[in-house]
Each structure stands twice: as structure tokens, then as C-alpha cells.
Structure 1
């Protein structure tokens, strides 16, 4: 898992490490890594023009030491101090000794820069850029220079990924020791560009439980169910899918398509689209309903395209097996029906549905996704998969790391993709995964399938995402 830690945790670990090292040794490690990335981006360092936007404290010091290293290699380096009187003295002295200069006219040097190092605020910044930094940041962004952020793009909230004011968008962010939540969660993530992690020896002094986890191929491969010699279709699990209506029959087909590729041994469909489901997927077991009379299942997925069938939602939630609730099911559910359950529940809202469940504006969820998913999980006593540009998965126990899906792609912004995800995650629940792991694996495979389906760079449909799931599964297995 790629991990991310809160500022307080990072600072505590840094303090422990600094106490063991010579003065400024940790900063010099960070600066050396930053300078190496900058040199790589420049290609030819000698004769290049580099501008350092320097704030107060360690973030500015990192930029100054890196600038000194580039100046020694022949780059023309100018520093633009944005906190006069609080510029890191040793870093500034190192830059001057190496041949760097303090810019007399910040806008003139920015206009001709090849690379700009954003060392304005870093992990200590709050509430966006200060007014005096905004004109310089805008000039940097308006130039033709490559923007390299030191640890974080200046102006973003390190712990939450929120952007509460103006921020400086980076092309590359060089972060030190460990990822910070803002580098994994939108809207801040979209401002970070490509993220490069520099090892400064921090990992041994970090706690074992991070704030966030982001799975990779091998993590997901370890979660996927695999039949054994003793398996039959019932031992592998049966997932019940309650979806579709006269108005939205396609939702049933898409949810079943996802469920058939999710590892369960059988899919039992309950609803108004039975004929269409069997015609498309003859391996599906169908029943007109109600769900309680449809036969035994190991998990239910309810809600896609369901219309106004509140009774079906309540009946499924009254069962003693894991339940996934999505789409119309979220609109129809009663909070008490969820909190009273003893079996696990997985809720899979998008931002608008999450806002309705929390009683807030959609914009509030979109701007503070981490807070929203944690609040939803705690309030409903359920695992929550919050869909969006960054999909987040939270458990009711706030001590458990929130998982961030790294496979999201704008190609998934197409009608019905969430229905496929519901069926896929429900099938993984029926196959025996916990809601936390089922949501993690489903989101990852779903995003990877969309990337595979859109490999030619053309628009895709949700049906094509479902058809690409076996290829995604194979890809994960092959690497894992």
C-alpha cells in the first residue's frame, strides 16, 4: 500500500529523526532529492534559468539548498523571498555562496524562467496563498516554466486535500519521506501534477497505522477470491441483485454484468427486468420478488435503477447477510434500518447522494471529501465508498485508514458505470470479502477496466467497462 500521514505525525517523526542527525542534515537530504528531480526535468542544467519562490521556514530552506546545488552546476538561480526577515538564513547563505542571487524584479526573472521551485508554504500552509504571494504565483503559472512544488503545492490543505483559497498548480510535486493526504485526494491532488517521493529516512520512525492507504496491484491481487478444488457455485457465494425498474431496465443489466465478473459462484437477480437479464445473461438465476422469497444469497446489492421500491430496500436491509446499497437504494433507505443491522453494510454514494445523506450541499462534500466519507461511515455505522474523481473508502471505526483508489479515470464519468461497480462489489461481498476489502478491490478493478476499455483514447460505455473486467482481473493477478 502507498501510505499517507497527517502533518502532526510527519512533524513528530521528523523531530525524532532530526534529534539524531547533525544540524540541517534532514533538510539537506530533502534538498538533494529535490535538486536531482529538478535537474532531471531541466535535462541540461548548465545555463538554465531557475527561480525559487521562497517562503518562511523549512519549506523555503529546502528550495534554497536545492537552488544552491543547481547553481553549482551552472544554472542561473534567482530567489524570490516572500517572507522578508524570515527567510531560512543558512539556506540563503548557501545559495549566495554557490553563485545564486536574490531577484530585484521577481516578475522579470519569472518571465524568462525555465523552472520555478514553489517553496512558499508546504505542509504548514492554511487557507490558501497569502495576498502578497498571489501575484507572484500567478506570474509563475503564466510563464512557460515547469513548476515544481516542494512537498505540496502552496495553498492546499495538507491533511484534508481541501483548497480553501488560491493555490499554485504544480507540474511536479517532490514530497519528502511519505505522501501527505492532499497528494492523494482531490481537489488538491489535481494541483500536484506528477508526484515524486524522495526517501529521507523517515519511514522507520513513522507509526504503523497511516491516515490513508492507496492500494497497488499486488495489494488487490491478495484480496481477490480464487476457487479451490472443493468449490462449487454455492460455496463460492451467491450474490442477490435487486435493481432495475420499468423506467430503468438497463441498470439491472449493468449491475448483473458487474456481478457476474466479481468472483461469486452465482448471481440471483430479483426485479422487473428478469426477461431482459436472462436474454443477455442466461447464466443468471431470476425471480420476480420479493427478495425474501428469491432464495438463499450470501450478499445483496440493491438500488441501481430501482425507482420507488422502498419495500425492497427495507427487506434487503432486514436480512442477515452483507448488503451493498447504491443509487435509488440510498435515496430510499432509512438510517435506522442501517444502524440497527448486525450484518455488514456497504454504502456507495456519489457526491450528490452523500450530500443528501449528510444533509449538506454537494459542494461541501466535493470540497472536503475526506471529512465527508469519515462522517458518513461514523453516522451510519457502515463502510462507505464515496465515488468521484478520487474514490474514498472509510470504515465506521475512525482509527482504520481511509483507502484511496488510485485507478480512477474521467472515462468512468458515463451513465451506468456505478451500476457495474455495485454488482462487482456485491459479488465480492458474496465471495467472502469484508465490505472494506470488497469496496477496495471493486473500485480498483472498475477503474482499471475503464482504462483498458479506453486504451485507444475513445469514448466508452459502461457495458464496455464490464466487458473489460476479466482483462483487469488478469492484469492484477499477473503482477500480484
Structure 2
């Protein structure tokens, strides 16, 4: 499992470790890891080709430009630059805050033969310095590698004008960029991006992941993330975490020799309508492909469901009349009329875990939801989350981590917020938010959310907690989409059909 810790936790751990180490030792550890990652990229072992035409692979002869700000990240960049310079690279440091740049790092780079150029931020819009800025921008476009050490963990807001110009120059010419700890301009704790920010090809982060490296929109700026162990001790819960194959494999149910269909879990599905019968079919498909012992379907899509999946136990009456289940899924394709609202209320009145998705989210009563004693799982996309919170969709998309935590807290439910990275938050605010990025852009297709509801509902019926069912369900769903797509478009039925392959993939590790 990958853990991501808050800025406060990281700083406390760094302070505790620095008190036990010789002065400067922690920065040297970070710089050594950063330099090794840069050298690997220059040798062609990185996330992007870093060898310019006419130059052989490796550090010797490479042109490296450091973007250096006032913080510790600038010091890391300078010391790493010194290591690269001693291996034969031509290294130049552009100082955006000359009076505040790390003194020891500057001395080390100068001693190694590196070039130091004062490029003060406040001169970026001064016509008298136009030629100088043109010169340093040209240096960036001719570089083999750019190292972003502009801001650190405490950075807030977007890049200032000068820093943004330099970042844009590197990006425009597709020069490989390595970010120190995190791309400058993103918020480390929230993953929010308020203005211009560096877009890195590789982020070398130290000690632990930061939430902003896992959560969109900031994650899109991080590129490939490489974690360097510098010896930090980070006790207590993380701010966020990301499951991996082994974690999901440990959660997935496995039938015992004495298992029957009822012991494996019976999931109830209340989905679909005369207008959207396909939602019922897809939801049932997802549940059956995720190991449900049996599926009970209650709704107007009963004929469509039994025609596609004759093993389903169907009825057209109220969900409470369908028979005993271990969990319910309600909402996909249900419609917005009075009958839909009656079905949602009927499901939520039952004392079993309930997943509410899509149209079902329209009928939620916050106080009644908080009064439920059985677990509730809500699975909105950004637009639905915005409606539940009473904000604009753009607010949710810009502040996904804050939004999912707020939803879980206000509704007293576990919340799975869909998106390019899926977030899962429990109502207990002390528990880390789980982040899932196993999906593919091809997953943005009609009906894929209905399949996900069936997947997570099946896991709820098998006895997983709402948090675990949501996390493992999102992981399997995204992985199935990758298996199904393999670089080509897919539809929701393809995703459901690939769930067994995703399950086997996870179990194999």
C-alpha cells in the first residue's frame, strides 16, 4: 500500500530525524536520490526519452538546468546538480530568489564547476531584463533535462510570473522535467492547483507520498512518481492511501468448501426503469461477475434482466418484498418519478448495507441517512456530488479531496467519488482517504458506473465494509477496463466481462 502524509506530519518527522543526524545529512540523502533518478533518466531509463539527437545516453555531456527557489527543494536541486556536474554534466542553476537560495548548495555547485545565474523573479516583467529572460528561456529549450526546485511543501497558489515563464519554456519544447518532491505550483495536502504549475515527467518525492501526488488535478502534473526512502519515521494514520494488488487480494472473498450461494452473499439490485432497462442489466452483470452467490432483482426491468441473466431471482414489486439479501444496490437508471423515490426509501429503510448511485442520489434525506444503523455507500460523480453539497461542479473537480471528505462527514456515509482518480472517504475523518487510479480514459463510457455499482454491491453482500467494498470494487473495475480496452475503445459490457480476468490478475499479485 502506498501512503501519503500531510505536510505537517512530514515536517515533524524531518525535524525529529534532523535532530539525530549531522547537519545537512538529510538534505544530502535527498540530493543523492534525486541525482540518481536524474542520471537514470539521462541514461534512457526514465519515463520519457531524455537523449537529444546527436548526444549519447548518460550524464557526461548532458545539459542540465536547475530552477532554484528559496526553499529546501532548491537546496536539494543544487546539491543534486553538483553531483551531476562532477560526473561530467554541464549544469546551470537559475536562481529565482538569489538572496534566499541555499548557501551550501550554491557553494557545492560552484565547486563542481556548475554555472550560477541570477534570474530574480521580480525582473520577469522589467523591460530592462528582457534580453536576459530571452537568454535563460533559450537555455531551457536547449537543455537535456530541467530540474524543478522552485517551491517546496509549503508552496501555496500558482507560480509567479517568472517561474511560470521558465516552466512554460521547458514544457513548450518538451524538455524532460524532474520535480523535486512535488511539482511547483500544486498544493501538497489537497491536490488542488490554483494557477500555473510545473508539469513534470518524473517527480522524485522523499520519505512518503504527498496527497497532492495521488489526487487530481495535481496528480496530472506529477508524471511518474518515484519515492526515495530518507529514513523518516511517520507514525499514525496517513492522510491518504492507495491500495495495490496484494492489499486488494487480501480483501477479496474466497468461498470455503462449505459455502453455498447464500453464505457467499446475496445482493439485491433495485435499478433500471422502462426508459433505462439497460442500467439494470449492467448492474446485475457487474454483481454476478464479482462473485455474488445470488442476485435478487426488484424493479421494472425484470424481463430484460432475466432474458440476459436467467440465474437472477427477479420480481417487479418493492425491494422489501423480493426476499432476504445481505446488501442492496439502488439507483442506476431508476428515473426521477415518485415511484423511483418510493423504491429508494424502501431500500434505505432496510437494516442492511446499501449502495446508492445515480438517480438514487436525488432522493436522499440527509437526516434520515445519518440515522441509519447499517452502512451506506454513496457513489456520485462530480456533478452529483456538487448537487449534494450545494456547490458548482467546477468546485468539486478543483477540490476533490476536500469535497469527498465533506460529503462523507455531512451525510454520515462512505463516499466513492468517481473520476480519473477515484476517491473513497469514510465518515470517520481519522481514516485515510483511499485513492484509486487503476482505470483508463476509455472507462468514461455509458453504463460503466452501473457495472461499478454491481461490483461494489456484490462485495458489500460478501461482508466487506463499505470502505473496503468501495476501494476493492473501484480497483477491480478500473483494472477490468484496462484488460478490456488494451488500448482500444470498450463498452460497459466489455468491462463487466473482463472482471474475472482482473480478479485473477489481483490474486496472482
Range class of TM-score, shorter chain:
over 0.9
Do the aligned partners of 2:290 and 2:500 also contact (CA within 8 Å) in 1?
no
TM-score norm. by structure 2 comes to: 0.92
Residue number in structure 1 paired with 2:129? none
Do the aligned partners of 1:103 and 1:109 also contact (CA within 8 Å) in 2?
no
CA apart distance, 1:408: 2.2
Q: 2:224 aligns with which of 182, 194, 204?
A: 194
Q: 2:67 aligns with which of 21, 29, 53?
A: 53
Residue number in structure 2 paired with 1:448? 479
CA deviation string 1:420-472 (max 9, x = no partner):
000111111111111000001100000000000011x1100000000000000
In 2, Cα distance between the equivalents of 1:306 and 1:144? 47
Q: 2:148 aligns with which of 111, 118, 129?
A: 118
The farther-off stretch of 403-412 and 60-69 is 403-412
In 2, Cα distance between the equivalents of 1:163 and 1:72? 36
Do the aligned partners of 1:113 and 1:143 also contact (CA within 8 Å) in 2?
no
- Establish whether residue 154 from structure 1 lines up as the match of residue 168 from structure 2: no
Stretches of structure 2 that go unaligned for 5 or more consecutive residues are 44-57, 119-134
Residue number in structure 1 paired with 2:124? none
Do the aligned partners of 1:314 and 1:337 also contact (CA within 8 Å) in 2?
no
Residue number in structure 2 paired with 1:8? 8
- Establish whether residue 82 from structure 1 lines up as the match of residue 96 from structure 2: yes
Residue number in structure 2 paired with 1:70? 84
CA deviation string 1:165-214 (max 9, x = no partner):
11010011010111000100000000100111111111xx2113111110
CA apart distance, 1:236: 1.2
Alignment of 1:107-146 (within 5 A): 107-146=137-176
CA apart distance, 1:80: 0.1
Structure 1 stretches of at least 4 aligned residues deviating more than 3 Å after TM superposition: none
Residue number in structure 2 paired with 1:408? 439
Residue number in structure 2 paired with 1:466? 496
Give the root-mean-square deviation of aligned CA atoms: 0.9
The farther-off stretch of 402-411 and 366-375 is 402-411
CA deviation string 1:118-161 (max 9, x = no partner):
00002111011122322222112223421000000000000000
Do the aligned partners of 2:357 and 2:378 also contact (CA within 8 Å) in 1?
yes
CA apart distance, 1:228: 0.7
- Establish whether residue 426 from structure 1 lines up as the match of residue 457 from structure 2: yes
Residue number in structure 1 paired with 2:113? 99
Residue number in structure 1 paired with 2:234? 206
Residue number in structure 2 paired with 1:296? 324
In 2, Cα distance between the equivalents of 1:347 and 1:111? 47
Alignment of 1:352-431 (within 5 A): 352-431=383-462
SS at match of 2:445: coil
CA apart distance, 1:394: 0.4
In 1, Cα distance between the equivalents of 2:101 and 2:503? 52
In 2, Cα distance between the equivalents of 1:48 and 1:12? 37
- Establish whether residue 435 from structure 1 lines up as the match of residue 463 from structure 2: no
In 2, Cα distance between the equivalents of 1:410 and 1:123? 30
Residue number in structure 2 paired with 1:24? 24
In 2, Cα distance between the equivalents of 1:108 and 1:286? 69
Do the aligned partners of 2:71 and 2:150 also contact (CA within 8 Å) in 1?
no
CA deviation string 1:293-352 (max 9, x = no partner):
111111000000000210000010000000000000001222223111111100000000
Alignment of 1:242-321 (within 5 A): 242-308=270-336, 309-321=340-352
SS at match of 2:162: coil
TM-score norm. by structure 1 comes to: 0.98
In 1, Cα distance between the equivalents of 2:310 and 2:359? 26
Do the aligned partners of 2:137 and 2:169 also contact (CA within 8 Å) in 1?
yes
Stretches of structure 1 that go unaligned for 5 or more consecutive residues are none
